[in-house]
Structure 1
Amino acid sequence: MSRQQREAIDTLLRSAPRSETPPTVEEQRSGFAAAIARPAPPDVATRKTTLGGRPALELTPAGASGPSHLLYLHGGGYVIGSPDTHAGLVGELARRARLRTTSVDYRLAPEHAFPAAVEDGLAAYRELLETGTDARDIVIGGDSAGGGLTLATLLAARDAGLPQPAAAVVFSPWVDLTVSGASAQSKDGIDPIFVEPDLHAYAELYIGAGDRSQPLASPLFADLTGLPPLLIQVGANELLLDDAVRLAGRAGADDVEVTLEIGSGLPHVFQHHYGRLDEADDALDRAARFVTARVLSHD
């Protein structure tokens, strides 16, 4: 069944039409929302809130108790996406981990270019600390660009002298805006979602003529010393495979505890396909066990 599921997802993703003329940012945002958005699970209560001066979506699963908190940063190339587009994915992770979760609506490019998103991620984390949540009770997670932003937020927090959270989880992280990984070309045609120019286009909107290799834009090139335990999940069929592989290597070289999981035959952020892809459900279960083990370990 799993092979049939993977093939069905691949076919579905390839069926998305590609325009001969580049879509506007607004068209990209509305199209992404229509394609990816799923509601939070019925046993996860949601409410609009604010964190770090930004709108946010709080997701509280049935059975959540204690002070532990998941801070989530959505994907979308720093240009598209929102807590609403990711309510299903984030709600599933929150439900499985039984953690109260806040998904932040950080500022998007091109209206708000780098480092606005990093500033918002840091502000959200800082407010959690300042309002009484112990860093050891916090986990930060994100997917795609939100995975890169998760790493950038950890680096900004470290450099600001703030304590690190208990752990971080990233799905298909985009951590190299220079797009220098070999998989950006070797997975061309295998990746059912992206082609290499897509990555350059998002980087252009986010950082423009700025240095794309600077650590808070491309955490792959940062010194990761002092970061918390890290779980990386990535699909083997995606352009960003080498971002994840190289990130794991860099983290290990900098003495960061890191776990890398590569899913055979799987696309970018395959966890979005929970409920219709066994590997997505299994990955979310493993991510939930990873984070709960870390936040409970200090009790």
Structure 2
Amino acid sequence: MPITPATIPIGAAVIDGLAWLRPRPHGIDRERVTLNGFGMEIIRPSGAARALRHGVVLYMHGGGFAVCGLDTHRPVAASLARSTGLPVVNVGYRQLPGRRISESVEDCLSAYRWLLQHGADPARIVLAGDSAGGYLAFATALRAIDAGLPVPAGLVGLSPLLDLDYAAKRDYVNIERDPFIPLSALEAVVRIGAEVDGTLDPMLSPVNGELAGLPPALLIAAEDEILRYDCELMARRLTAAGVSNSLELWRGQVHAFMSIFPDLPEGRAALGRVARFVRARLELPERARMA
């Protein structure tokens, strides 16, 4: 089914329905928060009373800026909460076709402002996301800097989309290898959510931003996915800007495997890497056992 403003709600309904077939996350407590026009939830390990000021992960879900939400990505947020011992704020930002990608970024920036207003220390906040959510994590950090807000402690991109220029990927070797995301899907999303009269503003892509002010970053991608292109480009540009970063390529996996299958061994291992990065950035002791 081609991606159009008319078909997006159909795809969203199907994916949301499938999400209810998955086992419910265990070992967590949830608190719902409503902001202006969208919602989010704070997920904590069961029984944990840790305040936001002690550390928090702000998580932006994937789904091509068009589908998925709090329900579909609650398992990955719960896994991160259990493995870090920290609250994870799962953001239900508004999406296509009703909102442009830049407006989704504004919702995520509002979530970051909310954390700061409710006592979270920016030096103890890590922004993270998968796929389109990875884009939002980096774009939100860049918008925060532009707005004069404090910089978070770290950034995590899981199979992140970081360059909206789909034309630049047309000759990339993984075009023929990625079993999950066709280039045509990326093109459709960018045309609907970012282009104006067929023109893309290059500054909408985090890889083209003023990267020198960003905090250390962790990038994880599947070896054969198309968005490996974005990760490698961002890693090179972060390094050139003097920003500490690490890029991990996982063999035999698919796009966003750690959020699609967070309870499989490979997903658990990748999220364990994220948890260690988060705890290192927040200077927290390593937990004895990753959940």
2:235 to 248, 251, 256: 248
Q: What's 2:288 paired with? A: none
Please list, as runs of the form range in 1=range in 2, the aligned pairs for 1:174-213 lying within 5 A after superposition. Answer: 174-182=161-169, 185-209=172-196, 211-213=199-201
Q: Which residue of 2 aligns with 1:60?
A: 44
Query: 1:222: how far off?
Result: 1.2
Given the alignment, which residue of 118, 130, 137 partners 1:131? 118
Q: For 1:70-81, list aligned pairs within 5 A.
A: 70-81=57-68
| Inter-partner Cα distance in structure 2 for 1:39 and 1:148 | 28
In the alignment, what sits opposite 1:28?
11
When normalised by structure 2's length, the TM-score is: 0.88
Q: AA paired with 1:32?
A: I
Q: Which residue of structure 2 lines up, in the alignment, with residue 43 of structure 1?
A: 27
Amino acid at match of 2:99: H
- State the distance in 2 between where 1:95 and 1:181 align: 39
Deviation at 1:41, TM superposition (A): 2.4
Gaps of 5+ in 2: 286-291
**Identical-residue share of aligned pairs (%):** 35
Deviation at 1:174, TM superposition (A): 0.4
Asked whether the equivalents of residues 173 and 244 of structure 1 are also in contact (C-alpha less than 8 Å), the reply is yes
Which of 180-189 and 136-145 deviates more?
180-189
Q: Could you tell me which runs of 5 or more consecutive residues in structure 1 were left unpaired when the two chains were aligned.
A: 1-18
Residue 292 of structure 1 corresponds to 279
Summarize the Cα distance change of 1:124–1:53 in structure 2 as closer, same or farther, 3 Å threshold. farther
Name the aligned partner's letter for residue 275 of structure 1: D
**1:32/1:190 CA distance change after superposition, 3 Å:** farther
Aligned position for 2:72? 85
Matched position secondary structure for 1:78: coil
Q: In structure 2, what is the Cα distance between the partners aligned to 1:87 and 1:55?
A: 13
State the AA in 2 paired with 1:41: P
- Cα deviation for residue 220 of structure 1 reads 1.0
Structure 1: distance between partners of 2:167 and 2:3: 26
The Cα of 1:190 is off from its aligned counterpart by 2.0
> Partners in 2 of 1:268 and 1:242 — Cα distance?
12
The code of the aligned residue for 1:57 comes to E
3-state DSSP class of the match of 2:101?
Answer: coil
Give TM-score scaled by structure 1 length. Answer: 0.86
What SS does the aligned partner of 1:86 have? helix
How large is the RMSD of aligned CA atoms in angstroms? 2.3
Of residues 63-72 and 282-291 in structure 1, the stretch that sits farther from structure 2 once superposed is: 63-72
1:274 maps to amino acid: P
Residue 202 of structure 2, aligned match among 214, 221, 245: 214
Q: 1:184 to 1:137 in 2, by over 3 A?
A: farther
